[in-house]
Structure 1
């Protein structure tokens, strides 16, 4: 089985914030780490890259009188360092849309779609102030169907209806706020209508696409898919390959979606196995997982599969599109201009990255918009990590060190009590339950199984009280601690996708090395035998004592310092 994992490509015109991170990048990383333990490292590929073409960057480059690539080179390297070095995102390949392999692949792929491409004159919004044609997403106005005043030119986030800029009431340019004019221009259109029935059938028959994805995608299909322009009049982008399309570029949304394939091709070319990429895109033994925000659902659940179908090749369609709802910050939307939120280069200076990874998965907005508050973030660290998991690990390991000189006692199966067999069963089932939820893209729900096992472990210790048993029946106390220390191994493996360094620390305390060699399907087995030596016991987690005033003061200082070192495009 081959597992393809992708996170939506972040646009390089700003530093991602915590909502962006959990919506795609961190979620995909947690799943990829789990998948490597479950399916084997060689069978999992995790890719993404910087989306760097399009209007906002072209405008910024004009303002600064520089080539757009000068700006995106800096921004790409800055983001890449944040993802790979700071946040420990385990991409096999984090690339960019300026990659020559990507640009060549996109142009060649587009030519395969020519059967479904037609040329039409279209009226495109044009900003006379900024002197550019505006992509659909750079026009906002009031939705004609539900009255939502912040609808985009391609879709209304409130009612989910498919829109065009011309349908908006009181349309405005998102760059300057002025009303655009509509100019006629010739464009190349991909005829989505040819795939209306096929897309609908695929969505309805899927047993793995989440309900929120199905709902949004089917609303597009039931409106009736219409041809969508795949060319733009922007200069900054991939030149359209069609005859007569000189001066046109490929719309960034079409080309960025194809980046999942080009990033795969690039990865295998870089390691000298050029044909291996096909194993992750063709065949019956491939499962593909896409981690995105809910605003990207139509592109991944309608346009991407339609393009793959239209290519005439047997590309594997998405297995799971895990689309999060929105993460709010203290009840408000993230806003750079109003300084509402925390950005991913600021966060590491406030809390340890490992804590952030756990907090964000625990707050992952899987069912509805979720509110990040500092009060809840600190509760997660101090209660869930420190009290539930860290305290349990410390209790078990300290007792083995104290009562058995650091050697795991032998288990005497003939002396097991009902409470023992019950907890053994819970240890075996915990990774299975977590796996079932992860396979559906439900990472927050899956993380509940980690806490449940730790809490069950603490309850088990309280009921069996080995500190009392040791006085009269050392063998029975040994049974309890043998079972408990095996549960810690299970916990370390389950915790690894979320907190790789902390999981490795716990795993090492247990007397093991290299947690990445573990097999997920064996995580629930009692493999630690008698006479196994544990290592020195140390504190796994620490409580965080911060108040909101201190956080806001520190954040203001961090922000001030970062403004001096962020690349020009990201300030």
Structure 2
């Protein structure tokens, strides 16, 4: 079997939580645990010096500004917005640590040295887009609250999303809660959150990235994705929707009114299906569709637009933001939060490397080299931004005629690992929605971090949205019901724990705490090697739920092997068989510990501690070797004594005597 090839260097990113809240279920269960597991795997697989795992607090943007304004107005926060963001940043760092999320750097886009570097990177990034001819200056209408005497930022306007078929509960100025973008004038029933009044529209001028001109390159990129092992099909489908031609949906009961203006409309093709309530007007280009929108709106014809590539706004006039560079005399603007958060991982990489005393241009070895790869873990709501928008902007950095295959020395295109929604009690959980999920902090009142890590990896978010149904927080659960969250956790605290303890207690009783140095049985060796190779393939394809299935089978087989063979040795008082069983079982435990190390780092590190072995124990360069090969003097190497009733994988105190 041909083994997968991993890069020489890797950057792993895990989205960026907003700086107005602590971490919730989706942050940890939907993104950070998966990213951390993969980062830990790569550290073992290619060497920890070749892996940088970064993320940070997304400090800017109108959602944070609006939330801060409301808290101050309600007397719930007393301090500056900088202090507000810093407070939440520290809480986020604390929770990540509690979940054993081991980042090289968790920074903040407005905090400390990372903020200074991020401002430089942001200015350089936009200037290069401009120099390469990929920006356009556009004057558009923006919401203005006449009563409050101010322009409204993105979250100070609420209404309904105009995108056809959108299920979002709330639309904001130019994007809805599901990430659909549209022109502000298209928002349905807008209201100002400041006064509750309908705002008026006033013209503002901003810089936009010509995303719509990257249709051909993005189509080529999607075709390449189709051939990637393990790339999630639902992501391709989601991206493909934005590559569709510009369309307008008009209800069939509006067709007579549409006929009355069709002579004034740009050229379009009308598509009508019997079982649909709307007809589709397809246009050759975005400009034609926007002209048609204006005409339909003027005639009070109701319509909705479909997803397509539109110019991607880079700047705005929200005071709380990264300052935009002064280009063509357009001064006093800030950068919209979404664009700058897409290149923030570059800023954080530069910050980390500076902390490590590396040369100024070392970041290019990680982001601009074909020997390196960037893995971005995100939730499905953000596919548009990290997909079409980011990939096109990264390609645009190459020059006036970019390629979908960037040359050495130019920004390479990151790999996207997208998870579906993690639901709470089978309903979409959102900190801004009606269904309030538990915070990541609250979950630790009921489960250990390793139980939760194993569960979140095992539910299969790469395939579908999955309901998180913790028994203690589920009002519909009865006393007799088992806790679904503990299925994977019990593999650790019950099954694996029992296997490891059995090996240690038996070797202490019969062999003075020394692992017998023997040739490993052929079948045991073969099973271990096959499991290692299959695990490696599944990790390469980001199939974390299948990794958990594989490890469930392997760890349970350790106990089956032990129960059958140690009983035979005991029944016959066969010390030679006992020593062979111990040698084989310790090889199985060693294999399972290395493979579970990225998933359950605390418990597996404890195994290494009791084996009295060094960090090289985790290295995949020696993954197939038996445990005694790591000992300087195997015959005399005595394990750390394991006291009675000591657990390598612990249960939460609330679970003791309840299962």
Question: TM-score, structure 2 length as denominator?
Answer: 0.75
Q: For 1:543-562, what aligned pairs fall within 5 Å after superposition?
A: 543-544=651-652, 546=654
The match for 1:124 among 142, 151, 155 is 142
Q: For 1:286-435, what aligned pairs fall within 5 Å after superposition?
A: 286-312=372-398, 314-336=409-431, 340-363=436-459, 365-375=461-471, 376-380=483-487, 383-411=490-518, 416=521, 421-435=522-536
Q: Which residue of 1 aligns with 2:60?
A: 53
Mapped to 1, the partners of 2:116 and 2:653 lie a distance apart of 49
The DSSP-based 3-state class of the residue aligned with 1:345 is: helix
Asked whether 1:520 is paired with 2:520, we answer: no
Mapped to 2, the partners of 1:527 and 1:288 lie a distance apart of 33
Which structure has the greater CA radius of gyration? 2
- Which range is displaced more, 340-349 or 100-109? 340-349
Shift of residue 472, structure 1, vs aligned partner: 5.1
Residues 356 and 128 of structure 1: CA distance in aligned 2, closer, same or farther (over 3 Å): farther
Asked whether 1:36 is paired with 2:131, we answer: no
Mapped to 1, the partners of 2:125 and 2:314 lie a distance apart of 12
Q: For 1:142-291, what aligned pairs fall within 5 Å after superposition?
A: 142-146=161-165, 148=167, 150=169, 152=171, 163-171=182-190, 180-206=199-225, 207=228, 209-223=231-245, 224-241=308-325, 242-273=327-358, 274-291=360-377
Mapped to 2, the partners of 1:294 and 1:406 lie a distance apart of 50
Asked whether 1:93 is paired with 2:105, we answer: yes
- Which range is displaced more, 13-22 or 425-434? 425-434
Q: Which residue of 2 aligns with 1:539?
A: 647
Q: Is the 8 A contact 2:232 2:463 kept in 1?
A: no
The match for 2:551 among 433, 447, 450 is 450
Mapped to 2, the partners of 1:165 and 1:456 lie a distance apart of 59
Q: Is the 8 A contact 2:370 2:412 kept in 1?
A: no
Mapped to 2, the partners of 1:427 and 1:141 lie a distance apart of 55
The DSSP-based 3-state class of the residue aligned with 1:186 is: strand
Q: Is the 8 A contact 1:54 1:252 kept in 2?
A: yes
Mapped to 2, the partners of 1:390 and 1:287 lie a distance apart of 36
- Which range is displaced more, 188-197 or 116-125? 116-125
Mapped to 1, the partners of 2:363 and 2:445 lie a distance apart of 38
Q: Which residue of 2 aligns with 1:495?
A: 596
Mapped to 2, the partners of 1:177 and 1:536 lie a distance apart of 69
Q: Is the 8 A contact 2:394 2:413 kept in 1?
A: no
Q: Is the 8 A contact 1:482 1:528 kept in 2?
A: no
Q: 1:381-438 CA distances to partner (integer Å, 9 max, x unpaired)?
A: 663222321122222322222333322224356xx5xxxx333212112232222222
Shift of residue 198, structure 1, vs aligned partner: 1.0
Q: Which residue of 2 aligns with 1:557?
A: none
The DSSP-based 3-state class of the residue aligned with 1:476 is: helix
The DSSP-based 3-state class of the residue aligned with 1:236 is: coil
Count of aligned pairs between the two proteins: 539
- RMSD of Structure 2 on Structure 1 (CA): 3.0
Mapped to 2, the partners of 1:302 and 1:56 lie a distance apart of 23
Question: Unmatched 5+ residue regions in structure 2?
Answer: 1-7, 74-78, 246-307, 400-408, 472-482
Residues 213 and 138 of structure 1: CA distance in aligned 2, closer, same or farther (over 3 Å): farther
Mapped to 2, the partners of 1:528 and 1:140 lie a distance apart of 66
Q: Is the 8 A contact 2:19 2:57 kept in 1?
A: yes
The DSSP-based 3-state class of the residue aligned with 2:236 is: helix
Shift of residue 21, structure 1, vs aligned partner: 1.3
Residues 32 and 373 of structure 1: CA distance in aligned 2, closer, same or farther (over 3 Å): same
Shift of residue 127, structure 1, vs aligned partner: 5.6
